[in-house]
Amino acid sequence: MAEGKIFQSLSGFYDIISDGKIYRTRARGNFRKKGITPLVGDNVEFESTTPKEGYLLKIFDRKNSLVRPPISNIDQAVVVTSAVQPDFSYNLLDRQLVAVEINKITPIIYFTKTDLLDDQQFDYFKDVKSVYENAGYKVILPSNQGDNNKSVEEIKSLFAHKETVFMGQTGAGKSTLLNKISPDLNLATGEISAALNRGKHTTRKVSFIEINNGLVADTPGFSSYEAFDIKPEELRDYFPEFRENANKCKFRGCVHINEPGCAIKSMLENDELSHERYHDYVQLYDILKNKKPIYNKKK
């Protein structure tokens, strides 16, 4: 028996990488009986007589898992955010970041289409970059002067020894960016992302590509951030700048809305925190507070 990681899933076969070698396996029937589906990214135990014949025996506990793309144990997500076409939205980006944080994934914000900005517009995005860096996020803002090899190399440097997934709204340029990072991918730009974001079934295999000693999901996905399954009072934990300063609030359970002695509100008054992000926080808080409970939710 050996241990490894599922690298690729295709038509009931699971390719496992172990000590630099790939082994093709099938899952034992007891997984189906237990209702367990092995996912790309799973750390597993398997047995193999030859590299082409083997069986998947055990799946170790997952750190996290996503439905789209169906992968597990993700370390970080590149949140691909277009500056224009479609236009940048604080609200959408903040929702995406919360979704990533809920899944225990570290976000990296990457701005696309910056070459379409004039200098004045680009100055605005420098300010946006500062807002998110001050909140504690890694942000990559390519130059508006064209050649962006430096930004592509910067993002590649973050892949080492990590499992990475890409996300972003339709048209943000996920496939285009992935193709720049790994030219041999030849992802059909737009088509795949559009199909995934519409929720259509696609028969593409799910797999990782190896880039700079890391694993990158070759499918731009992770767009399911419409509804958050958290309590309203938990939302504050998914805004890093609130989380970092919450201990300065007068009340331990402060949700930074109407409580007296709130450190977050006083930091806002002193322009030490982003008003846009706080506005999005309050809006999301209200949505969660007014959300009707689903009583027939299946376990």
Which residue positions form the known binding site?
112-115, 168-176, 249, 254, 256, 262
Distance CA 280, CA 131 (A): 14
Q: In terms of Cα–Cα distance, which of 104, 96, 107, 36 is closest to 73?
A: 104
Give whole-number Cα distances, 96 to 92, 210, 241, 268, in Å.
Answer: 6, 25, 16, 22
- The DSSP string of 40-76 is BT-EEEEEEEETTEEEEEEEPPPS-B-SSS-BB---E
Q: Report which of 38, 30, 47, 48 is spatially closest to residue 7, judged by C-alpha positions.
A: 38
Residue of 235, 217, 215 lying closest to 97 (CA atoms): 235
Structure tokens at 38: 């092995």
Nearest in space to 2 (alpha carbons), one of 62, 17, 28: 17
List residues forming the annotated binding site for GTP.
112-115, 168-176
Give the Cα-Cα-Cα angle 133, 136, 141 (nearest 5 degrees): 30
- Residue positions in the annotated binding site for Zn(2+)? 249, 254, 256, 262
Q: Say if residues 157 and 110 touch (Cβ distance below 8 Å).
A: no
Give me 47's structure tokens: 């047995």
